[in-house]
Amino acid sequence: MSLHFNVSACVRATSKFSDCTKCVDACPESIQLLDNLPSFANKTGVEAAACVGVCPTEAFSLSEFSTTEFFFSFLDSKIRLISPKFNVPCISVLSVEHLISLALASDEVITLDMSSYDETSILFEQIDARIDEANFVLSAFSDKRLESNMEKAKPSEVSKESEAKDEDNEENSRRSFLGSASLKGVVKHKMTFDEAVEADELKAFQLDSITIAKIKEKHLPDKRKILFTTLKHAGVPDAFEVLAEEDITFTSQKFVDESCTNCQICYRICPTGALSSDGKFSLIHFDAMLCVKCRLCHDVCEPDAIQLQPGFEIKEFFEPTQRTLATFNIKRCNECGNNFTYKGGEQTCPRCMVEEEEAMFLHSNALAMKAEVERVALENKKLEEGDK
């Protein structure tokens, strides 16, 4: 089994300002940053592939194991045990979203077999933290839970019955399941912003044109489509809780403060289309259910205007809304005729304003130089007249 890295899905390839180190933190011995991009260290194997489960944009995948395929085949089977001995290469390939979706979609409690892991290892800690997070988030709206088991799992718990499948039917039902996850706005965002990401910035990484074209596409990871669709089938709770921002790693809610300059970078660059604007760039929209908390928007925002909301409202899971984080007064520049974000005063865009200031500076410099030349010439003339 080998590990694949899709560079076009990595937020570090989208912007050199990205600080994402989730894969490196998950697997520091195997993954390092080289020229700002994740790179595999020599002589390291695919023992755990924790990076697959932790990457917010699904940039990593395994050659012989698909987390999406596993989601469906596991639920179709009679097994309710997830174990590296039987059905996954490592539990760490599953994200928190997968764990929540599996718990919600299963009628029986799912047990995660932790008996193969060293309790003192980083890997154990990471998997344990994901199970805790999944259970914590589940507790906000459901009585479903995941269990973890440190005792040796018994092979007899694996039912052979589930292994005979009609593969064509499975494939079709999977496609239609993911297809039904039509999140409001994704298609619109994709059409509006296909051309938006600055190719020049991407070229700084010496990426080829095919990779650059892929980066420009807004792409929602399959794990989010699975979660969204699973939530649609879960019962709506009587009351909606608010979770602390730091307790949820896979999505967020945001606000934009008054220091925003409408530089357009965050909504052009957001990989999923969670941040978006209209055709005139006169507002910033945000869909929490499309956000994968990759933090790219925060990393690229120079004035630090986009911020995480302290609490995440569980209501977003059941009644997703597109919120307007900021609106801007767009006017046409009197000098160049281009649209710009008007903040009062002269109706001149910042670029023309800078050009005007430069022109005035050059003009006053030229006048000063002319005056100096005239003064020197006058002095010379006086000296010449004195000599006579």
The contact set with ligand SF4 (CB under 6 A) reads 10-12, 20, 22-23, 38, 55-57, 59, 256, 260-266, 270-272, 274-275, 291-297, 300-301, 303, 305-306
Structure tokens at 117: 């892991």
72 vs 228, which CB is nearer to ligand SF4?
228
Closest CA to 6 of 248, 219, 308: 219
User: Which of 98/293 has CB closer to ligand SF4?
Assistant: 293
The Cα-based distances of 111 to 83, 107, 148, 156, 323 in angstroms read: 9, 13, 5, 14, 38
Closest Cα partner for 296 from 26, 24, 57, 53? 57
d(CA 23, CA 55): 6
**Helix-strand-coil percent breakdown of the chain, rounded to 5?**
45, 15, 40
Q: At what angle do helices 96-105 and 67-76 cross, to 10 degrees?
A: 20
| CA diameter of the chain | 120
Handedness of CA 41, 42, 47, 49 (dihedral sign): positive
Collapse the DSSP code of 272 into the 3-class scheme (helix H, G, I; strand E, B; otherwise coil) and give the result: coil
* Whole-number Å distance between alpha carbons of 92 and 127: 6
| Residue 28 C-beta: closest distance to ligand SF4, Å | 12
Closest approach of ligand SF4 to the CB of residue 238, in Å: 29
Cα separation, 50 vs 357, in Å, equals: 54
Query: Please, what is the minimum distance in Å from the beta carbon of residue 13 to ligand SF4?
Result: 7
- Residue 46: CB minimum distance to ligand SF4, A: 15
Q: Which two structure tokens, joined as six digits, stand for 359?
A: 């022109």
Is the CB of 295 or the CB of 331 nearer to ligand SF4? 295
Helices 222-233, 96-105: crossing angle, 10 deg rounding: 30
Residue 104 or 275: which CB sits closer to ligand SF4?
275
144 vs 293, which CB is nearer to ligand SF4?
293
User: Cβ of residue 248: shortest distance to ligand SF4, in angstroms?
Assistant: 12
Nearer to ligand SF4 (CB atom), residue 185 or residue 271: 271
* 146-149 and 110-113 beta bridge pairing: parallel
Is there a contact between 60 and 146 (Cβ–Cβ < 8 Å)?
no
> What is the Cα 143 distance to its own chain's centre?
29
Name the minimum Å distance from CB 245 to ligand SF4: 12
Min separation Cβ 162 and ligand SF4, Å: 32
Cβ at position 132, least distance to ligand SF4 in Å: 20
Q: Looking at beta carbons only, is 105 or 270 nearer to ligand SF4?
A: 270
Provide the minimum distance between the beta carbon of 6 and ligand SF4 in the complex, in angstroms, as a whole number: 8
Q: How far is the CB of 17 from ligand SF4 (least distance, A)?
A: 10
- 234 vs 256, which CB is nearer to ligand SF4? 256
| Residue whose CB is less far from ligand SF4, 59 or 333 | 59
